[in-house]
A and B are shown apart, each in its own frame.
Chain A
């Protein structure tokens, strides 16, 4: 059982539970503590050092994401000195990346790096020098890997290891010559990557993005975002549907989705081409004289009912077997089994997710 203890953050006494970090406690009580390498789903990493805070009795500031809260601690998060160093750090990070427009910010939504640049009112004009890393020409259909914009926070590597347990990518090299690669530096398609896209949405920059969502000529303000539930399986992952001029252009995960907490699989993340596909069926068809012919819904219902009844009457209830789609909602599945039992008189009903 955890006991409640007290510490001081920015002059206010706050309670915390054993095991909490100073960052968690500080943010909960409303202090602004910037981060770039932090993702609440991942183990604290302490690499960006933006979350440094002053700790009474310590000579040097400490990174609050890795600092465990202790009773009696006296923490200051926002002194002028801390803010100045954070501002310098943001400028240093900006200097690592190219100065052109960030496609992530333009097409999907402001990335964390540029959010912080706005917060600290700094731009990319000091500490200029070499640009970090190099982009990888990766033939996979979904993930853009533009490592010119990488800031080496390794959130992509860590989410792939800690959350997905796929271990598809790793950090390579060291110092300025570091990078992100798959084992033996091949393409993602040849690696253990499942193309789940988790790396994209933990990435705080434009280094990783959904290939299909960038360069569509959109601006964030024009994109409509609709929260929904992924229709692919019965798990019910929360998603945001991005649409432009009434047309769906992509999906982003919802971090506070109660089931998925930001996780999606390759289908839920990238598998929405069908929505706008020309091959998609938009009205019922009945094969007449060997040709699929468009018909009205009423004609289609009548035709289907007649055929199902003839199956039951000519061949008996055991000739009928219903399999509900995992993509169907609970109500739909319920109706299918009710229909199978009450109308078709059969107990042969199953669900595709069971297989």
Chain B
């Protein structure tokens, strides 16, 4: 249909009327339409295109980018099951068979669709029907998912910062205030320079993985002159094996809101947006409750925390796309653009949301701000071991006794985290290796478990610390398969714009499949891997492609024999570096 044809759709008209004046309404409008119709009808999208000034073809393309927008009506929801690192250690096929046959009490289509990690690696395997999560246990039992408990740290005298009160039920405003919440925004308003210098001395850096100093970022946005500025919280925690932000938002939402409010008061932004991944429906509800409570109590609103300055926070829900965790993709997603990463520079500090100066920080980063202001930058800084500053949260999952999130000093040995905190692997088994940064930081083999958990130490090994997800693989696992699963995830989630990443991650996955197939492998396969690594690591347009070679490089570093065995076992001798 040509776009000049007039469309009538009173439901969508009403939704648009409700949302258009609100901040960055694009995603909310689409979700509201989908919630009403069960999908995004053509008539609705045409109206959305008209109101947002987006050509309908472009809008259609943008919608197809996301996993969880549907363009076709569905009578019943499909069954969605996680296929990534910690979960694929389980017998997914058996679980799938079990689900299809069993009466789960939730109507479904009977069609099983594998999805990328929904951030519940501590309680594998998550199964999603509509917006309800079920849990497929190793035993084959399917039950309603219950939130994982927060595992206790060992009593070895280490001080927690973000997790200090997290087990004390501080999710309600009342309890949070009792525990000392919502004090820091006044300080941000009264003494912004002092506030920034505390942040700088704390050594707090971006916990989403990129590690940019938070104080410097806030100061940069503060110094910009603009009509409008924005605070954006990146809660699109989509990296496989990472679920720390979910737990922070569930258990200590007021720390996040407080941190964002401080950022607003420091920089002059009046609106904060939490970009929440679609796969956290329970957080959508609980975080909104926290926002409502804080607004009712005057911590948010026209006179935020009695400072005389306005600050409000809204949630915008993603729609299933890992790349939207890349900050510039996230901003494009909020604006209603095709969520490809932007070329940097310019950076969001000067050209962020709607080209205005914007602070984009991870959930953990914002949550760290209130305790730093409460107890001082130097206090936070000295929590780190040796030269390292502060603490970091690690999500540990896979073949491990006590999966969960642990807050440890930066610089803690990986072995201590795995053994003393997470209880080591199961009896009779040994840890063979772990994935880092979720999965995109590569692999670390058993021989290097003493590596310290700080960015530089991981870099020295050739891996990356990233967003702090660690998936443990015991000695029964095939690490080539583990690498394949990591690469497959990146290939599935590549935005497809830049050639090295789109082609490279797919070819890498195919090559790892070929190695695992047991059939003769192509000649020159190792040289192909090496050439792909080079192009990915040096020419990719964003971090996804740049990081992908960590996986194969670390695989070759720690498990060369396994690769050679596969090649030899395939019956075809292969000279490395041939061609």
A contact set with B: CB distance below 8 Å: 36, 44, 46-50, 52, 60-61, 63, 66, 84-85, 88-89, 92-93, 95-96, 126-130, 151-152, 154, 161, 167-178, 181-186, 190-192
Q: Measured between C-beta atoms, what is the minimum distance from B66 to chain A in Å?
A: 9
Question: Quick check: B496 and A167 within 8 Å, CB to CB?
Answer: no
Q: Which chain A residue shows the least CB distance to B61?
A: A170
Q: Knowing A175-B491, A175-B492, A175-B506, say if A183 contacts B60 (CB, 8 Å).
A: yes
A47 proximity list for chain B (CB < 8 A): 497-499, 541
Q: Measured between C-beta atoms, what is the minimum distance from B325 to chain A in Å?
A: 14
Question: Quick check: A127 and B532 within 8 Å, CB to CB?
Answer: yes
A92 proximity list for chain B (CB < 8 A): 499-500, 503-504, 507, 532, 535
Q: Mark B478-520, 1 if CB is under 8 A from A, else 0.
A: 0000000000000111111111101111110010000000000
B503 proximity list for chain A (CB < 8 A): 92-93, 95-96, 127
Q: Is B538 an interface residue (CB 8 A)?
A: yes
14 contacts between A and B (CB under 8 A): A36-B499, A52-B539, A66-B343, A84-B531, A85-B535, A85-B538, A92-B504, A92-B532, A127-B503, A128-B522, A170-B62, A173-B496, A174-B65, A176-B491
A129 proximity list for chain B (CB < 8 A): 506-507, 510
B291 proximity list for chain A (CB < 8 A): none
B338 proximity list for chain A (CB < 8 A): 171
Q: Measured between C-beta atoms, what is the minimum distance from A190 to chain B in Å?
A: 6
Task: State which of A85, A96, A190 has its C-beta within 8 Å of the C-beta of B534.
Answer: A85
Question: Quick check: A168 and B496 within 8 Å, CB to CB?
Answer: no
Q: Knowing A89-B535, A172-B61, A192-B57, say if A152 contacts B42 (CB, 8 Å).
A: no
The count of residues in chain B whose C-beta lies closer than 8 Å to any C-beta of chain A is 49
B534 proximity list for chain A (CB < 8 A): 84-85, 88
B-side interface mostly = helix
Question: Quick check: B499 and A168 within 8 Å, CB to CB?
Answer: no
Question: Quick check: B532 and A88 within 8 Å, CB to CB?
Answer: yes
Q: Knowing A85-B534, A92-B535, say if A49 contacts B498 (CB, 8 Å).
A: yes
A167 proximity list for chain B (CB < 8 A): 3, 55-58
Q: Which chain B residue shows the least CB distance to A153?
A: B499
Task: State which of B58, B62, B505, B540 has its C-beta within 8 Å of the C-beta of A161.
Answer: B58
Question: Quick check: A174 and B343 within 8 Å, CB to CB?
Answer: no
A175 proximity list for chain B (CB < 8 A): 491-496, 502, 505-506
Q: Measured between C-beta atoms, what is the minimum distance from B355 to chain A in Å?
A: 15
B579 proximity list for chain A (CB < 8 A): 126
Excluding A49-B539, A93-B499, 9 further A-B contacts by CB distance (< 8 Å) are A46-B541, A49-B499, A60-B539, A88-B534, A171-B496, A174-B494, A175-B496, A176-B491, A185-B60
Task: State which of A128, A172, A174 has its C-beta within 8 Å of the C-beta of B321.
Answer: A174
What 7 pairs between A and B have smallest CB-CB spacing?
Answer: A170-B61, A167-B55, A178-B496, A183-B57, A175-B494, A170-B57, A49-B539
Q: Measured between C-beta atoms, what is the minimum distance from B46 to chain A in Å?
A: 8
Q: Which chain A residue shows the least CB distance to B345?
A: A68
Question: Quick check: B531 and A49 within 8 Å, CB to CB?
Answer: no
Question: Quick check: B60 and A89 within 8 Å, CB to CB?
Answer: no
B42 proximity list for chain A (CB < 8 A): 184
